[in-house]
Amino acid sequence: MKRSQERTETSPGHSHVSDPQSSDCRAVSGILSRVGDKWSVLIIMRLGEGSRRFNEIKRMIGGISQRMLTLTLRNLERDGLVKRTVTPSIPPRVDYELTELGRDLAEPVAALGEWAIRHQPCIEAARAHFDAANGAEKPQERRASAG
């Protein structure tokens, strides 16, 4: 086995996140796939500013469909990151806000979003350089045509 592929023992109390077969790694992967998708990140960032109604969130996040917003909010609620409050009225008022767990997540999510904005020009330049060196064929196109 190559040195870079060797598994290392972890110290007591250290998780096995780097081992793809460990339950820690699978748990982290599942959580990151939820909180790391673009809609979840944008919703968490918006709810970090305070409680919002459904249509308010929809207006603030351009390009999200009603169905995708509904699904994402439900999944964030299921994960304990968002609280949904229904106020009986006509029509019923539904507000969404971050839970304590969601507020704890908002800080690293905001930092990631700020990092992405700050480094967008560098990433675009790297993509342009890569595309120029590889015949302007994007990696997704290459994988699709290879199969």
Q: What is the pTM of this model?
A: 0.69
Kindly state whether residue 103 falls inside one of the protein's structural domains.
Answer: yes
Rg (alpha carbons) of the chain, rounded to whole number: 20
Task: Number of helices (H) and strands (E) in the chain: give both, helices first.
Answer: 6, 3
Show the domain range for 98: 24-146
Give the CATH number of the domain where residue 48 resides: 1.10.10.10
Kindly state whether residue 79 falls inside one of the protein's structural domains.
Answer: yes
Residue 5 has pLDDT above 50, yes or no: no
Q: What is the mean pLDDT of the chain?
A: 83
Kindly state whether residue 85 falls inside one of the protein's structural domains.
Answer: yes
Q: What is the pLDDT of residues 72-126, one digit of tens each?
A: 999 999 999 999 999 999 988 999 999 999 999 999 988 888 898 899 999 999 9
Residue 28 has pLDDT above 70, yes or no: yes
